[in-house]
Each structure stands twice: as structure tokens, then as C-alpha cells.
Amino acid sequence: MDAAEFRRRGKEMVDYVADYLENIEKRLVYPDVEPGYLRSLIPTEAPLEPESYEDVIKDVERVIMPGITHWHSPYFFAYFSAASSYPAMLADMLCGALGCIGFSWAASPACTELETVMLDWLGKMLQLPECFIAGTHGSGGGVIQGTASEATLMSLLAARCKAIRRVQATNSNYSESDVLGKLVAYTSEQAHSSVERAALIGGVMMKQVPADNSYAVRVDMLKKMMEEDKAAGLIPFYVRQHTNQNKACQGVDDLYMCVLQFCATLGTTPSCAFDRIVELGPLCNEENIWMHIDAAYAGSAFICPEFRPLLNGVEFADSFNFNPHKWLLVNFDCSAMWVKKRTDIIGAFKMEPLYLKHENQESGRSITFTHTHWQIPLGRRFRSLKLWFVFRLYGLQGLQAHIRKQVALAKVFESLVRADKRFEICAEVIMGLVCFRLKGSNELNQNLLKRITDSREIHLVPCQLSGRFVLRFAICARTTESSHIQQAWRHITQLTFELLQEPSH
């Protein structure tokens, strides 16, 4: 394909994409295929001779579209939203064309510098405390990770490194592996599975703190759990920088466990609950525990002053993360992470072979960040372009309007559910997620969800709250309107009517 053909095919592709998105609601949101459907539709080997573009594009409808779950359909209400907007798609196209791999400042100065400034812009939109902003002289700063899971893992690994060094500073007899086996982290029982996974990867024991009736962790619960562990002989001492207790520790066996991290969630996956970070933060600071905040979904809403109080307490955190690729109109992947002290994270992972060095080497100046020291892979795409396009083309007000509209739509759905006495709301509706169920058994609700899924007209996923099977209705697509919510509810009540007609019910 030469440049002339690329121009033509590119314009056709833009038309194809615009047509797809404009007409998406005519497609059934959930695919009607069986596992393995695709293998029989394409050859078993890659072609030896080049094929024509026409043949390839024809196969998009024949092979790919039947197996697509249409995440951007206004009838998609599953998981959490996956952000999408035309400005972000255009920026991604430019990113693909530039194709630079921005691991260091020299590898593409614009890539490093725009990312640093965009994370500052975004941090200011969220009113993050000054200590998270890189600016020109700050000691904190932001980085774009691929996903919240990676941000959680990086924070855990950085906390692990810090804890190991701290323990070794109190007793140089401890080897890294002596300490590693004794580390424990805490998180909510409602935390996303990626938090537990980070601990698995990091070789750290993770303990789950019970949540209250609103599915949030409160400080007394974390405190109680840590005290119980201590009473059970699990934690003879907490590692604290300023106590003498550390010095009392003579051998490795005395060092049973040390608490390295508490991972708080703002906007839990099952029900969008908010851990009480205003209470938890001071305890973590006092006990020298790294507090990471995972606000993967809800973080976007903090750009609205009315939701910002839910982020109060972030000043106690060592790291904070949310996904603009969930709710801030920036297509996947773009997960924003800030640290208060970038030396904590860079210090843990810095590797500097000769081929990464350059004459404008990082000298503490934020504009020359080597972001690759903040992440697992070396290579990194120019993802901040998406933020730049979206921020400029929507403006803060446009982004706030998007969040507010989606929260208002969730309230519309909540009122429809509340008006029907056969149903109940299962958690407070704070943002764009409504947890609801038919009053009755788990089996009844499982059957209802099965009917919904089999109909393929709308798509929801379940969660478990207090042992009950609950349906999650998340406002996801940018194009969802009140009419789609009304239609979705009519569909749910029709399926409910049919279900309740069955003799077994």
C-alpha cells in the first residue's frame, strides 16, 4: 500500500467507523456465536501471496463483526464504561503514524514532555494536592500506565522495595529474601481482583479487610484486623521508621510480617463504594504503610466539584490512579497514575544501560523524565496525545457535562427500579452504576440475567453483594440517552413478566 492508496483507504475507513458508530444500536449488543466460531471462517495458514484490500475489508463484516460485543452501543450496560470519542480516535491514529517509542526524553522529547504536562493538567482538574504535581520543581508527578492493574502492581512493587530497604536499614543482617517472605499488604474484600493479583505477582501476602454495610472499608476495621493479627502473634511489630522496636528484633524469625501497603478503592467494581480514605490515610501515615488509591472508574468524576469531596484524604496517599480510558472520553489504553515522591518509584526500578543514556539525562527536572523507569515494559506509546486532543476539544466543562449526564441517567434507571415493587436497589447510587435485583432468591435473579443475556438486546453483568446475586446496570456508552434507559427497562420488565409466569415461580 503506497501513500496514495493509504489516503483513499484511510478516508474509507473513517467512513466505515463513523457508519458503524452511528448505526451501532441497530446491531444486537451481545454476539450470537459459539466458542471457536472464528477458526472455521478463516484459513489455517497465513497467505503466501498478498491479498486485495477489498477482500480483507469484506471479511471484517463476515468474520469479525459477528463476534463483537458492542461496547459502544447505547444498550451496553455491563462492567464499567469504556471511554470512546472521535478526538481520542484521531489522536490514536496520529500516535500510530508517529510510531515513536518514548521510553526516554531523547527517544522522543515531545512524548515525554507532553505526558508530564498532561498529567499535571489532569491532576489540577482533579484538584490533586500540589505534592502530586510535577510542575518544574515538584518531587511528585504522573505517568500514563496501560491499565489500573499495572498501576496497582507498580505501587505494590515500589512499596515492597521501600519496605525492604527500611527493614534492612534497621538490621543489615536481613537479606532481601528474608524480608520478602514476611511482607503483608491489606485491601478491601471489595477490591478489584487486580489488587490480589498484584500481591501474587509481587510475592506478598494480601489480607482482605471486611467492608461495612455500604461496602466501604473504615479505619476501625483495618485497625481491628491489624490488631488481631498482632494478637495472634502474626505481627510482633509494625515496621516504623521512628520506633525503637525495630532494634529489638534480633533474628529473621522475629520479623514475622511487616505491613507494606494498604490499597484503598474509590468506586469499587461490584457497587461503586468508597473506602473512607480520610480516616484510613492518617493510620497508614502513622504506621508507615504505603497507601495506594485505586479509583479506576470513579476517578474521572472527581473533575466535578460535587464529587471531589469523595477524594478528600488523597493527601495521605503515596500513589493514586484512575482510568481516563473508563470514563473520561479517552479510548483504551490510558491509565493515569501519580506518586507523591517519584524517587520512590524510580528508585525501585531504575535500570540504565548505556543505550538509554543521553546528554539531557534526567537531572531531577520533570521535563526530562524517563517514564520507562516508572513501568514494567521499556517501550511506551505516545498516549498523552489522546489526553491533549480530548482536553482541548471538550474542555473541562465538556468533560464535566459528560460525567453529569451519565450520573443523571443512572438516577433515571434507579427511579424506574424503585417504582416497581418487585425489585430492590442494593447499594447507594452515587455515580453511573445501579445495583438492583428482583426481590427473591439468587436463582430467580440468575434466571432473569440469563434471559437478558440470551436476548442479546441489552447487556449487563452480575455481582455478589452480601452473598446475594445482584444485577449491575452501568451507564456506559457516550451515546446512551434517556430513551435507551426507558427501552432497557421495558425489556427487563417484559422478561421479568415472562419469567414470573413460569409455574416454578
196 vs 424 by CB, closer to ligand PLP: 196
φ/ψ (deg, to 5) at 177: -70, -25
152 vs 372 by CB, closer to ligand PLP: 152
Q: Can you list the alpha helix ranges (DSSP code H) found in 99-211?
A: 109-125, 148-170, 176-180, 193-202
Question: Smallest gap, in angstroms, from Cβ of residue 7 to ligand PLP?
Answer: 35
Which of 72, 162, 192, 207 is the binder for ligand PLP (CB under 6 A)? 192
φ/ψ (deg, to 5) at 181: -70, -10
DSSP strand pairing (461-465 vs 468-474)? antiparallel
191 vs 221 by CB, closer to ligand PLP: 191
Which neighbouring-strand residues pair with 425?
436
386 neighbors 88 (Cβ within 8 angstroms):
yes
Which of 131, 138, 147, 457 is the binder for ligand PLP (CB under 6 A)? 147
Question: Applying CB under 6 A, does 297 fall inside the site for ligand PLP?
Answer: yes
Interface mask toward ligand PLP for 277-296; x: CB under 6 A: -----------------x-x
484 neighbors 77 (Cβ within 8 angstroms):
no
148 vs 458 by CB, closer to ligand PLP: 148
Question: Applying CB under 6 A, does 262 fall inside the site for ligand PLP?
Answer: no
User: How far is the C-alpha of 416 from the C-alpha of 418, rounded, in Å?
Assistant: 6
Element (H, E) at 298: none
User: How far is the C-alpha of 455 from the C-alpha of 392, rounded, in Å?
Assistant: 40
Q: With CB under 6 A as the contact rule, which of the stretches 263-271, 337-345, 352-360, 413-421 interacts with ligand PLP? A: 263-271
User: How far is the C-alpha of 320 from the C-alpha of 155, rounded, in Å?
Assistant: 9
108 vs 187 by CB, closer to ligand PLP: 187
Q: With CB under 6 A as the contact rule, which of the stretches 84-92, 199-207, 260-268, 390-398 interacts with ligand PLP? A: 260-268
Question: Applying CB under 6 A, does 316 fall inside the site for ligand PLP?
Answer: no
118 vs 258 by CB, closer to ligand PLP: 118
Which of 104, 155, 261, 265 is the binder for ligand PLP (CB under 6 A)? 265
Buried b / exposed e over 368-385, threshold 16 CB at 10 Å, is: bbbbbbbbeeeebbbbbb
Count the residues of the shown chain that bind ligand PLP, applying the rule CB under 6 A.
15
Question: Applying CB under 6 A, does 263 fall inside the site for ligand PLP?
Answer: no
Element (H, E) at 443: helix 442-455
Q: Which residue has the cell 525495630?
A: 246
**Distance between first and last Cα of the chain:** 61
Residue type, 453: T
Which of 107, 119, 148, 159 is the binder for ligand PLP (CB under 6 A)? 148
147 vs 343 by CB, closer to ligand PLP: 147
Interface mask toward ligand PLP for 317-356; x: CB under 6 A: ------x-----------x---------------------
269 vs 496 by CB, closer to ligand PLP: 269
Q: How far is CA 43 from CA 37, 46, 240, in A?
A: 13, 7, 62
182 vs 192 by CB, closer to ligand PLP: 192
Element (H, E) at 436: strand 433-438
344 neighbors 162 (Cβ within 8 angstroms):
yes
Interface mask toward ligand PLP for 57-96; x: CB under 6 A: -----------------------x----------------
Exposed/middle/buried for residue 425 (C-beta within 10 Å: 0-12, 13-18, 19+):
middle
- Contact residues toward ligand PLP (CB under 6 A) are 80, 147-149, 192, 194, 265, 267-269, 294, 296-297, 323, 335
